Structures are given as C-alpha cells and as structure tokens.
Amino acid sequence: MAGLFGVVAVLYGGGAELAWHSSGIAAVGASAGADSWQAFGPAVGFAFFPPAGVTVAAMLLTNRARWAAVVAAIVAAELVVDAHHGMDMLAAAGLAAANAIEPLVGASLVRAWCGGAPDLRRRTDLARYVAGACVLGPLVGGLLGAVVGVAYAGIWWPGGVARWVAADGLGALVVGAPALLWPRQRQLLAARRVETTLVVVLAAALSVAAFSIRSPPALLLLPVLAWAAFRLEVIGAALASAVLAVAANYMTAAGRGAFAAAPLPGPARLAATQGFIAVIMLVSLLIGQEAAGRISAIRQRQAEQRERTRLESLARLGESLAAALTPEEIGRATSVEVRTYAGVHALALGLLSDDGNTLHWMHMAGELPPIVTQFADGLPLTQSCAATDAMGTGIPVLIRDEVEYQRRYPDTAHWTMAAGIASVGVWPLTVGQTRIGVLELVWSRSQPLDATQRSFVSAVASMVTQALIRARAYADEHTRAAVLQAAVLPACPPEIAGLDLAVCYQPADVTHGLGGDWWDAMSLPKNRTYLAVGDVVGHGLAAVEDMAQLRAAGRALAVQGLPPSQLLAELNIFTGHASHGKFATMTVAIFDPGSGVLHYGSAGHPPSLLRRCGTGKVVRLGGGRGPVLGPRRHAAYEQDQALIEAGDILVMYTDGLIDRRGHDIEKALAQAEQLVTGWRAHTSLREACQSLTAALAPPPRDDDVCVLAVTFR
C-alpha cells in the first residue's frame, strides 16, 4: 500500500506541475488556481491533464482493496501542488475531491463493463475504456470541479465542465492507455529495445519538426505511427502517439505550429489541439489493433502450417518406422525424416550394450568419418559427454551453443569443434524405467531448442523407442521361426531308392528367409514314397508354426497308410483346429513302384506337371481336386492316379511360381509347361528347378515359391 501511495503521489504531482507550466503562465490547469479558469493568455495552454491517466490506470491495474491508497495519493499530491502555487485550501480540497471521485467512477464503470482490467488490444475493451475512463469519469469530475471554478473564480460553469472533460479525458487516453498496455506487452518492447527507442526518439523529433515548420503534423508523423503499430503493435502505437501528444501540447503552448498560428481565439485553438491529439491517439490505437490482429492471424496460420508440417513429418516417420525391422533400419528411417524436417546436421542412434557399459551406435548420419571411425566400437559410459549424461540421468541434454558445450564437457569439446557443431540435443530412449539408448541430434547453427523443437524431438524419440521394442520382438520371433523352419524343412531332399529329387525354395522375404511354403518327401512301408508340397497363408513365425504342424501331421497320416483323399480330409480337420485361424493349400502324391501308379490329390493347390519321358509331352495332373484346408470342417476330397514310366519327371510347386500380381495364371502355367517340356532325363533337376523359378518368379516376389521335382528311375 505504501509503495502504491508513493508511486501515484509522485506521478500525480509531477503531472500536475507539468500542467501548471505548460501554458507559460503562473496558474494553469484543470485543478489549479482561480486564474486558471479565466483566460489562456497569449498561448493555448495545456491540452490534457496527465494525472488523470495515472490515477485511473492505477485503479484498473490494482484490486479494489488498494484503491484507498490511490485516493489518498491523489488528495495529498493535489493539496501539496495547489498550496505550492498559492491556491486557497478550500478550493484545493474541492479540486482534490473532484480528482479523486473521477477515477473511482471511471475505473468502476470500466471494470464492470470489461469484467476486470481492460485489454486495450481488443476493440470492444478500448471503446468501453474511452466511454468510462475518458468520458463519463471526467464528466463527473468536471461537474464537481467546475463548481470550484464558479465559486472561486466566477467562471462560466458549462465552459469549465467542458474544459475539464476534454483535458482529463485526453489525459486518461494519452497516459492511461500505455500504462494499461504495459503489463500485457512489455515483453515485446523488451525484445525490441533498440527499435522501441528509435520509434520514441523519431516520434519526438518529427513532432517538434512538424510543429516548428508549421507543416501539417500528420504528413511527417503517420509513417512513424504506422511503423510503431506494425512492429510494436498496440503498445508501440500508444507510446508513439503519447509522445506526439506531449510534443503537440507543448509546442502549441509555446506558440509553434499550425494550431498556435491559426486566427482563432485561445479556447478554439485549445480545442483544435485537443481534437488533433484525440484523433491521433484513437487512430493510432485502432491501427495498432488492426496490425496486431493481422499479424496474429498470420502467425496463427504460420503456426498451423508448422503444426501440419510437423504432424505430416511424424506421420511419414511412423510409416517408415513401421516397416523398419532392425535398429539400423530404424536409424536410417529416422535420419531421413528428422534431418529433412528439423534441419539437423547429423543424427546418431545409440543402444546400450548387454553389459550396460557401452553405447553402440546403430546408425550415424552426417558425422565426419574420423568421428565415425573413433566410435565404431561404441562409446564407454565412463566418457563425459552429452550422450552419456543423457543415458545416465534419463533427462534430455540440451546444449544451445559451442560455449556451453565447452563449459560442460571440456574434455570432449574438440569433437564439436572439429565437426563444426553449434547445438546438440540428446534424448534418452526409455522403456518403463529402463534406459535402452539415446537419440542424438546435432545442428551446425545455434538453435533455441524451444518448446516446439523439444516437443517434436520428444515425439520422435518416443516413436523410435516403440520401433526398437518392435524390432527386438521381431528379432526374437525371427530367431524362433528360423530355428523351427531349419528343423522341419531340410535344405536338401532325402535319398530315396528309385527316385532323383531336387528342391528349390525361395521365400518372398529374401532378407530373413522365412515363409509358409513347404515340401516333403518320405519313404513309406512297402517301398512306397510320400511326396507333398503345401502353402500356409502368411509369413513369419505364425506361418512357420502352421507349416511345421501341417507337415508333421501329413507325415504321420501318410505313415498310417492313408490314401491322398483321406489324408487331405484329416488334414482339413486338423488345420481348422490347429492353425492360426487361416488356411492352407496342399498337393499330395503317393507313388507305388510295384504297380507304377502315382496316386495324388489336391486341396486348393495348382496342378502338378508330369513330363512323359517317351514323348516329352507335359501333362497337367488336374484330377483329385478339393477345397483349401481349414475353412470347411467336413469338406470332401477326391484323388486320381497316373501311370508312371521310367524317366518321367513330376514337378510339384506352390502358387507363388505362377500366380503373380498383374500376370495371367493360365499363361504362366502354359509357360511352365513349355519350360518343363525342354527337360531331359539327364537334366540336373536342381539347376532345372532354379531356372524354372527364375524364369517364372524372378525377385522381388510377393509370395514364397517352392518347387519339388522328381525323376522316376
């Protein structure tokens, strides 16, 4: 309270003294002595009363409980100033009362209309402030203050009221507006100190120049006011126009400028000056509001565009990470997107070693070759640097410039100097409470690393962490699937008396070699031979598990002596129970060398090809058809047979050989027949199978391909 009292008293007293001296005569002001109510003398006199803006702003910026201190400061300062200039104490007391009631009325109205302190950046609040603090409050004060003029100076009461309203209303506008804007926009002025100073100085200098040469003031001043409005927004416009108002008031009071030279009586010249100041102030504030609104709209659009770009970047990254199956692939995908969007000079993805002592860099992009070579074996956690700090604390390490890096990590600062690094950001990658690695970003130019940048990289780090979790799970699954596939699917066919066998297996996933196709060849009792080729829908561990179960079940049923039709029927029931909810296709053949008959059946599988040795003709084994395994529990299956002669070649295959996207299956099957026709009894079956696969299903493939060829001797 004491501090508020002191500030208001000093500012009020200073403003009142300025009003006394502004006209160059002994007693001037809306609250001065009796002579001040009578004449302006040779000059116009004061145009506005600064204390009116001080007091109403003080009340609007504080809560009601502190208004008593403001009122006390008004009364004390008014009495001191008026006593200093020889005013009668009763008159001074009356003026003090009028000047105290005025801001109480104005502030109360404005607070009620605006719901608190007005925000003069809004047009509605400015209108309410002008109505309450610049018109109605001064009107109430003028009605009371003019009574003092009538009683002690014999002035005309309506004229006294008009002078009071004009002077105090302008004071509330000229001084109060910048004061009310200051708490809301002082950061803008602080961020542009030089520009603010230049605007104020230019406004003052051009105001003095305009009034000195008696030219139209707006001609020189409007460019500065526009500059203030567009660059410093509403508070800039308020400050520049306030400087102009002060200059206009004092230059006119000194007999300079167009208003002082106008062939008008003193009151008319004063009114012209006041009108000019009011128009300039209001127009400047409105221009500032309009400029701020347009700038805000532009910034909003820019922010929305940046947000859209950020979300699009994260979406692209998510799409890339979804296809990344290893830490190296994750690092490459992250590097491409982040370096493009965030302007990153270099990026590194590091994972903690199994022993927890070293960071191994899975991917480094943009780093100098010597740095890549130096850390090829990893970064010990005992080394002091940003990456190890982030790994140790679990908190992002943000370094905005080289000086900060040298201060924090003097032992490793030579790395940043050699690489031309300006800013560094390292984000720990955390799963629950466990830190698994770091994502390090490096910029060649200093970065603010503000909330927007931090939010983007934090989102990237989170996505990378999830991708690493998926990659680890995939690696574990791949290992299990590879072991299972190797166990149930031998690389070479077995040796079976009277038969030459060859296999060509090409998975669609050439990188990891896992698929759902399989083949089988097994000797049965009574010298018979079981041959099979099948295809489980899907890839990965689930497909390998289904394949292994179907292959094992088929072997077990074949050993029991089941013919192809019954074997497929039993496998259909088994598939419906044991698979991962999908289906499979399969072709089965059982060869009896004693009778020379090949019994075969198919469950939704493409027909096998039989090349006759005697004629070289290729026959499609299209009989024994049945539905795919799994969907229909009680499906019926048939079988057919073919008589086999020595030298005949049987080719069994999965649909990946002939069914390719955008290709006709019938044409592909005809091409397969043509190629098999060229085989001879002495042809290397292994090479023939490989040539057939390469011709009909070259990589990249959408599906696995398995070809089993058998020559009957």
Task: Report the pLDDT averaged over residues 4-8.
Answer: 88
Identity of residue 630:
G
Give the Cα separation of 59 and 129 in Å (integer): 13
Report helix, strand or coil for 139.
Answer: helix
- With a cut of 70, say whether residue 214 has pLDDT above it: no
What pLDDT sits at residue 34?
36
- Per-residue pLDDT band for 253 (boundaries 50, 70, 90) equals low
Which structure tokens are listed for 191?
Answer: 């961020």
What pLDDT does residue 39 have?
Answer: 32
- What integer is the mean pLDDT of 397-402? 91
Nearest Cα to 281, choosing from 319, 231, 228?
A: 228
Query: pLDDT-based confidence at 37, cuts 50/70/90?
Result: very low
pLDDT bucket at 388, cuts 50 / 70 / 90: very high
pLDDT, mean over the chain? 85
Check pLDDT > 60 for residue 29: no
Paired tokens of 117: 């302190």
CA 659, 664, 666, 670 torsion-angle sign: negative
pLDDT average, residue stretch 679-695: 88
Q: d(Cα 678, Cα 686) in Å, to the nearest integer? A: 15
Q: For the chain, what are the domain ranges?
A: 2-294, 324-481, 490-712
Q: Flag whether pLDDT at 620 surpasses 90.
A: yes
Order of strands across the sheet that contains 597-603: 517-523, 529-536, 584-592, 597-603, 640-643
Read off the pLDDT of residues 427-445 as tens digits, 9 standing for 90 and up.
999 988 889 999 999 998 8
The first and second tokens of residue 643, run together, are 């008589």
Which has more pLDDT, 328 or 19? 328
Structure tokens at 142: 């003028």
* C-alpha to C-alpha distance for 347 and 351, rounded to whole angstroms: 14
Whether the pLDDT of residue 33 is over 60: the answer is no
Q: What is the pLDDT of residue 21?
A: 66
The residue among 211, 212, 242, 213 whose CA lies nearest residue 225 is 242
DSSP-assigned letters across all residues of 168-223: HHHHHHHTHHHHHHHHHHHHHHHHTHHHHHHHHHHHHHHHHHHHHTT--HHHHHHH
| pLDDT value at residue 673 | 95
Segment among 14-28, 69-83, 255-269, 292-306 with least mean pLDDT: 14-28
Q: Cα–Cα distance between 376 and 370 in angstroms, integer?
A: 10
Specify the residue for token string 């399969």. Answer: 586
pLDDT at 366: 86
423: β partners:
443
Task: Give me the pLDDT at residue 312, please.
Answer: 87
| Between 676 and 511, the higher pLDDT residue | 676
Give 47-100 pLDDT, tens digit per residue.
Answer: 788 899 999 999 999 999 999 999 999 999 989 988 888 888 888 899 999 999
* pLDDT of 579 over the 90 cut: no
What was the pLDDT predicted at 108? 95
Q: What is the phi/psi pair of residue 682, to 5°?
A: -90, 0
Least confident of 185-189, 257-261, 472-476, 650-654: 257-261
Query: Is residue 489 within 8 Å of residue 523, measured between CB atoms?
Result: no
Q: Which of 291, 337, 288, 290 is nearest to 312 (CA)?
A: 337
Residue 36 has a pLDDT of 42
DSSP output for 251-308: HHHTT-HHHHHSSS-HHHHHHHHHHHHHHHHHHHHHHHHHHHHHHHHHHHHHHHHHHH
- pLDDT greater at residue 349 or residue 411: 349
CB 313 within 8 A of CB 274: no
Which of 173, 179, 145, 150 is closest to 60 using CA atoms? 179
Tokens 């649909």 belong to which residue? Answer: 655
pLDDT of residue 32: 38
* Tens-digit pLDDT profile for residues 175-196: 999 999 999 999 989 989 999 9
State the SS3 of 396-430. Answer: CEEECCHHHHHHHCCCCHHHHHHHCCCEEEEEEEE
Look up residue 133 and give its DSSP letter: I
Place of tokens 């004071």: 171
CA distances from 545 to 475, 493, 510, 533, 692 (A): 16, 21, 19, 16, 28
Q: What pLDDT score does 16 carry?
A: 82
Q: What is the distance between the alpha carbons of residues 209 and 224, in angstroms, rounded to a whole number?
A: 13
Query: Three-state DSSP class for 593?
Result: coil
Q: Residue type for 463, please? A: M
Please tell me the CATH code under which domain 324-481 is placed.
3.30.450.40
Cross-strand pairs, 619: 610
Give the residue, 698 or 273, on which the prediction is more confident: 698
Token pair in block for residue 463: 């996505």
Return the structure tokens found at 712. 């009957």
Cβ burial of 662 (10 Å; 0-12, 13-18, 19+) is exposed
- 169 in Cβ contact with 138 (< 8 Å): yes
Rg (CA), the chain: 46
Classify residue 132 by its DSSP letter.
Answer: I
Token representation of residue 660:
């390719």
Instruction: Please state which of the ranges 129-133, 222-226, 256-260, 328-332 shows the lowest mean pLDDT.
Output: 256-260
High-pLDDT (> 70) share of the chain, %: 90
Mean pLDDT of the 317-324 span:
88
3-state class (DSSP) for residue 524: coil
Give residue 513's pLDDT. Answer: 56
Selected residue with higher pLDDT from 577 and 528: 528
Segment 337-343 mean pLDDT: 85
Both tokens of 575, joined, read: 């598939």
Specify the higher pLDDT residue, 456 or 477.
456
The closest of 34, 29, 26 to 47, measured between CA atoms, is 29
**Superfamily (CATH) of domain 490-712:** PPM-type phosphatase domain (3.60.40.10)
Please state the φ and ψ torsions of residue 233, each to the nearest 5 degrees. Answer: 60, -150
Strands 529-536 and 517-523: antiparallel
Is a pLDDT exceeding 90 seen at residue 349?
Answer: yes
- What is the 3 state secondary structure string of 318-353? HHHHHHCCCHHHHHHHHHHHHHHHCCCCEEEEEEEC
Highest mean pLDDT among 32-36, 94-98, 548-552, 587-591: 587-591
Does pLDDT of 611 surpass 90? yes
Whether 288 and 236 have beta carbons less than 8 Å apart is answered as yes
Over 70: is that where the pLDDT of 292 sits?
A: yes
Buried b vs exposed e over 49-60: b needs ≥16 C-beta within 10 Å? bbbbbbbbbbbb
If you ran DSSP here, which 8-state letter would residue 629 be given? Answer: B
How does residue 413 score in pLDDT terms, banded at 50, 70 and 90?
confident
Greatest CA separation for the chain: 145
Question: How much is the pLDDT for 133?
Answer: 94
